[in-house]
Chains A and B, each alone.
Chain A
Amino acid sequence: MAPDTSTPQNIDGSDGNAVDDPQEDEFEARVGLWYTVSQIKRDPTALAGLGIVAVMTAIALFAYIDGVFLDYWFAQTFWYHPNRDPAQAEILLPPYGLTNQIYPTEPGTLAHPLGTDDRGRDIAVRLFYGTRIAITVGIVSTGIALVLGTLVGAVAGYYGGWIDDALMRAAETLFAIPFLVLVIAFMAAFGRNLTYAMIGVGIATIPTFARLIRSRVLSVREEDYIEAARAAGVRDRNIILRHIVPNSFAPVLVQATLQVGINILIIAGLSFLGYGAQPPTASWGQMLSSSRQYLLPDPWFSIWPGLAILITVVGFNLVGDGLRDALDPRINN
């Protein structure tokens, strides 16, 4: 028999396992990583989303490496060019081949393909480094909410009773407070920077995950294999982590992917309000914020970061939708 029996495709019931009855292939369940991946491959929109997310993540990774290990080689090469002295930088240049109210007759040049901002900084370079922040805040804030929300929801759902009541009422209290107010209050208490923005947004979205996983846990905990584990003397902690959570995780995974996009948007909004990344850090939300005074003379300044946010969020949402379809057996075929 082929050594690889982990993928459902390899099970044909004909070799080696024909002891009881050869109908094994009919039992072939639609589960597993490979099945999910193969479903996504057939879904062009999810594939497009995956492409966007992959490209954005690659850019973010590269920007991170560039910033930490290469001493901003990218910015040095494309902005601090010998011929482009920052002191003489032209502000609000239009993109290549286009004009704006400030430069009605001189189209932009390839030196600044997307134009410059109100301080003469290259927008392309700032977008590039902004990707790093957008992706990081999206993933980290979602990660915080995912881990804590999963724990809270799983514990509440598994134990039930007063533990459930206490945890879920606390989570609902969090839900009852308007989201932005909560995060801004959090940052007012701890300080205005990106780290607290991520933590604040993460904590504020815990209830979303807690409620989602709890509803799954309530049905999973009644499964026989949970009782089998209890009958074998497995500790509650291991039952929750090894048996309950993995079996309740599919909807949470979908929600997490969608939440990354939402959180990018929220933190861009916080930056726009001045509660996220502080200048001079390049972040998309903060770029939007400084561009709003120049909407008429140079609309391009605000279009680019807006477009970047749009594309990234759409990318994550497409992946999330694709995952949901792939993980939901009712939608298949």
Chain B
Amino acid sequence: MAEPLLTVENLQTQFFTEEGVVRAVDGISFTVEEGELVGLVGESGAGKSVATSSIMRLVEEPGEVVGGTVKYRDQVIIDFEEGPDGERRPSDEMLSNKQMRDEIRGNEIAIIFQDPMEALNPVFTVGSQLKEFIEINRDVSGKEAKQIAIDMLREVGIPEPEERYDSYPHQFSGGMRQRVLIAMALSCEPSLIIADEPTTALDVTVEGQILDLVDELQDKYGTSFVWVTHDMGVVAEICDRVNVMYLGEIIEQAEVDDLFHDTKHPYTQALLKSMPRPDETVEELNPIKGVMPEAINPPPGCRFHTRCPDAREVCRRTRPVYQDVSGPEGYPHRVSCVKYESVGYEDSEPLDTEATAAFGGDIIEAQGESNE
């Protein structure tokens, strides 16, 4: 297999707050191949957005990337090494902030932000913002940049781009603004675009149009995408491969068909059950019970065991290993669940959890008979 475009290994980002250290991203690993559309799925608070801004090194105080490696082609975006005193510190190979700004951001990796209403500067025309980004990231004159900007606006389906070039963001609708943001990301010809829930703020018809547009543009430009979303429907529609995140960890990773038809992790199963599907008729949707625990103090063992319908005693004690459970052929299907390990899951006592018993609030120790 060719060298992947983006490799993320054991990335860790923590927020140092007054209440304690929040492990927002706790050792995630994934890769993005050339021309691939990789999904990053999870509930709110799973650490998806922090993961993407960590990759761009845009995490702000009090947050900090504290470990792991991120490689883009042969450039090292993040790398940590152990110093002589045992402290982890950034290695020398890591790009400087200036290199990061001049060589990576915008021209190699671009971001499309979640809220098109907020991601455009309200005091400048759409065209001048587009032109600014093009001038920064591509070696062209102002006139050429304007022409490229107009062409990009046309490309993403803005009618009469010459006139709309001089419009202000507030004169655009939400869908139009999202198109402008896509134009902005594409106009600098990056090889990778990180789309941070780009359709969450849009209604479904516009969402559909945007997804079609992205599909079309991806075919044309061959750009790779990391698509952050909490919408399994969107994942099914556009992603090639999916990473499911829960509480700062990736708990399952597979090709999109594998994930939907051969779901391994109980969390992914629960996610799929909680979503309406056109191919199944259900009386009632089945939401995931409970709320995600705080990343400041994650539960011991498997992090999902507090809400897992299949949780057993062993889940509380054993930290699952993130391993490949696929057959000999095909793309690896990785999952971290003790069900697929030989640590005595079968013999373990079922555990009373938020998903099994009707109780809210804190985790109560399993006592007496279980409802399972």
Whether B184 and A1, one on each chain, are in contact in the complex, defined by CB atoms closer than 8 angstroms, is no
Which of A1, A20, A230 gathers the greatest number of chain B CB atoms within 10 Å?
A20
| A227 to B111 Cα, complex, angstroms | 10
Report how many residues on chain A are interfacial, defined by Cβ distance under 8 Å.
Answer: 37
Say how far B223's CB is from chain A's closest CB, in angstroms.
Answer: 15
A interface, over-half SS? loop
A232: CB under 8 A from chain B? yes
Total number of A-B contacts with CB less than 8 angstroms? Answer: 122
B interface, over-half SS? loop
Whether A31 and B173, one on each chain, are in contact in the complex, defined by CB atoms closer than 8 angstroms, is no
Say how far B178's CB is from chain A's closest CB, in angstroms.
Answer: 9
B58: CB under 8 A from chain A? yes
The digit string for A27-62, where 1 denotes a CB below 8 A from any CB of B, is 111011000000000000000000000000000000
Q: Of A1, A32, A160, A231, which contacts B106 at CB under 8 A?
A: A231
Whether A224 and B184, one on each chain, are in contact in the complex, defined by CB atoms closer than 8 angstroms, is no
Whether A5 and B171, one on each chain, are in contact in the complex, defined by CB atoms closer than 8 angstroms, is yes
B188: CB under 8 A from chain A? yes
Chain B 182-238 interface residues, beta-carbon cutoff 8 Å to A: 184, 188, 206, 209
B137: CB under 8 A from chain A? yes
| A120 to B261 Cα, complex, angstroms | 102
Say how far A110's CB is from chain B's closest CB, in angstroms.
Answer: 53
Say how far A176's CB is from chain B's closest CB, in angstroms.
Answer: 29
| A171 to B106 Cα, complex, angstroms | 36
- Which residues from chain A contact B262 at a C-beta distance below 8 Å? none
Whether B164 and A17, one on each chain, are in contact in the complex, defined by CB atoms closer than 8 angstroms, is yes
| A8 to B172 Cα, complex, angstroms | 11
Chain B residue with Cβ nearest A223: B118
Q: Of A27, A231, A247, which contacts B121 at CB under 8 A?
A: A247
* Given contact pairs A27-B171, A233-B105, A233-B106, A228 touches B119 in the complex (Cβ within 8 A): yes
The digit string for A282-305, where 1 denotes a CB below 8 A from any CB of B, is 000000000000000000000000
Chain A 220-247 interface residues, beta-carbon cutoff 8 Å to B: 223-225, 227-235, 238, 242-243, 246-247
17 pairs, A vs B, C-beta closer than 8 Å:
A5-B164, A6-B166, A6-B167, A17-B159, A17-B171, A17-B173, A20-B174, A27-B173, A28-B171, A225-B118, A225-B119, A225-B122, A228-B111, A228-B120, A230-B58, A232-B184, A243-B121
Task: List 3 tightest A-B contacts by C-beta distance, closest first.
Answer: A20-B175, A29-B170, A233-B105
Q: Which residues of A contact B (CB under 8 A)?
A: 1, 3, 5-6, 8, 11, 16-17, 19-21, 23-24, 27-29, 31-32, 160-161, 223-225, 227-235, 238, 242-243, 246-247
